Structure formats: C-alpha cells, structure tokens
Amino acid sequence: MLSLSYVIKGILIGAACVLPGISGAALALSMGIYETILGAVSHIFQTPKKSLKTLAPFLVGCLIALTGFTYAAEYLLSTYPYPFAMTVGGFLFGGVPFLWQAQKASPHQAKQRKSGAALFLFFFFLTLFFSAIQPPMHVGKALPLQAGTLLITFCLGLLYSITMIVPGVSGSLLLMMFGYYYSLIETAKQLFDGIRTLETARILPAALILLPFFAGLFLGGYCLSSCITWLFETHRFFTYSAVLGIIASSLFTIFHHMGIFALLPTLNAMQLLCGVLLFLGGSILSFQLGEKSE
C-alpha cells in the first residue's frame, strides 16, 4: 500500500521539477527523504523489488504533479510572465546564500580558492553564452519529431538528472537556460491532451519525443547518483564553485528567455512594485528552505 505522506511529498517534488527556480533535491532534503530516494535509485538493479517499493509513492506523486503543474506552468508563463519571472528569480536568489555557505564550509586550502574562482567564472560565462545565443522562447511551440530532436531530448534528460541529485539547482532553470523549457512543457501538454481525448496522432509524436528525455533522466540518475555523491564527498569545494557559477548567471537567463527585458518598458509603477514584492517573497521562502536543507 502506498504511503499517503510519501505521495504528497512526491507531488511537492514533482511540482518543483516543473516550476523553474525550485530545486527538487533541496526540497527532498528539507523533507528528510533525499538520502532515501538517492539510495533507492543507486541500488535499483541490486535490490529492484525493495528500491521500486521505496520509489513507488514518490513516482505516483510526481506523476500527479507533472500532469497538473504542466498546465499551470503554461498558464503562468503565457498570462503572467513578469510576476512569474520575478517569483522564480526570487526563489533562485534566495538559494544563493545556502550554496555560498555550503561552498565556504567545504574542506579546501587557501591555494585552491583561485582554482575555485576560475571554475566559477568558467561556468558563469559558459551558461551565459548558451543563454545569449538562444532567442526568447514562447509557450505554444512543441518540439518537432526529428532524429536530431530525439538526441537533444536525451542529452537534456542527462543534464536534468544532475539537478535531481545536486541540491539547490533547479532542473527547469537549466532547461530554460538552454532554451528548451517551454518547448518541453508544450510537448508534455500535447501528450496529456492526446491521452485525455484518446487521439493517437497527438500521443505518439509527443511520447516518442519525451521517451528519450526520460531515458536520459533515468540513465543519468542511476549513473550519477553514486558519482555525484563521490564528487561532493571528495571535491565538494570545486563542485559548489561550478554550481554557483551556473546559478549566478541564471537571473539573466530567466529574464531573457521569458522576454522580460522587452516587457519592462510597458509596465507601470504598481506592476513593477508587485514584481519586486514577489521577488522578495520568493527569496525569503527559498532562503528558509535552504536553511532547513542545510
């Protein structure tokens, strides 16, 4: 029998996976289930029955959240892009102190700080570059069913799997940085709409596009669960330096991909103020979550 509390926690993690700015791994840490999930994934082939029994309620909850929040995310992105972007930006900004303190507390020598700074700058400008070359994305453009698309979604799944393991990093934000968040949301919506109306012509293309993504997600999660644990245990300082570099450039990527820079001149003072308040609210909530996760 599925544990209702675990299903609810799975729903919260699933929502965090869909909505940008929220780290599913940090949320799992705050609820005390991070190591349980990580251990089940890393031992799924050694003890499949036990691992699947552990993961089942979380997977059910995540599926419920993915179905519901896919539509919610599209609505928020298309109807309230500025408030949504400011809230997401607040969640992102509020998680920085947690990551910064985690990096400072990581064992390292004084001579390693320059290398850490270089790693920070490398990932900062690399992420900024990939974001800048992508035009602003908009809701309503599903991915086309092509061979190149299948390879891209598989690689995105591998990338996303890292964020499922590294606390403080939002997978949706990374997808947004590379310009595929909105397209994947629309593709998922196309799949759910096809299932709801029993239209095979809509189900099949969307399922074929999303299948490599989840294959990459599973493969990456399995392979990286032990690898990331080892990386944090043996190279914690440098790992957090790279993570901070990615996060530091994320505010630009969020506003760029949501088209906020072009939208700002059209907003009045009250709208701008509401955005600032949402940013502060998201920052406070994210900061408190980071404190609990620590």
Q: pLDDT by residue (tens digit) across 85-137?
A: 888 778 777 767 777 777 777 778 777 888 888 888 888 888 777 666 655 55
pLDDT for residue 293: 45
pLDDT for residue 32: 61
Which two structure tokens, joined as six digits, stand for 145? 């069913």
pLDDT digit string (tens) for the chain, length 294 residues: 557 777 877 887 787 777 765 667 766 765 667 767 877 887 888 888 888 888 888 888 888 887 777 777 767 777 888 888 888 778 777 767 777 777 777 778 777 888 888 888 888 888 777 666 655 555 446 677 777 888 888 988 888 887 777 665 677 777 876 778 778 888 888 888 888 888 888 888 888 888 999 898 888 877 777 776 677 677 778 877 887 787 777 777 777 767 788 888 888 899 999 989 999 988 887 677 555 444
Q: What are phi and psi of 133, to 5 degrees?
A: -80, -10
Helix 147-165 × helix 200-234 angle, to 10° = 40
From 90, 109, 118, select the one nearest 21 (Cα to Cα): 90
pLDDT for residue 277: 94
pLDDT for residue 141: 62
User: CA 74, CA 153: separation in Å to the nearest integer?
Assistant: 19
**Contact residues for 134 (Cβ-Cβ < 8 A; gap 6+):** 178, 179, 256, 257
pLDDT for residue 133: 64
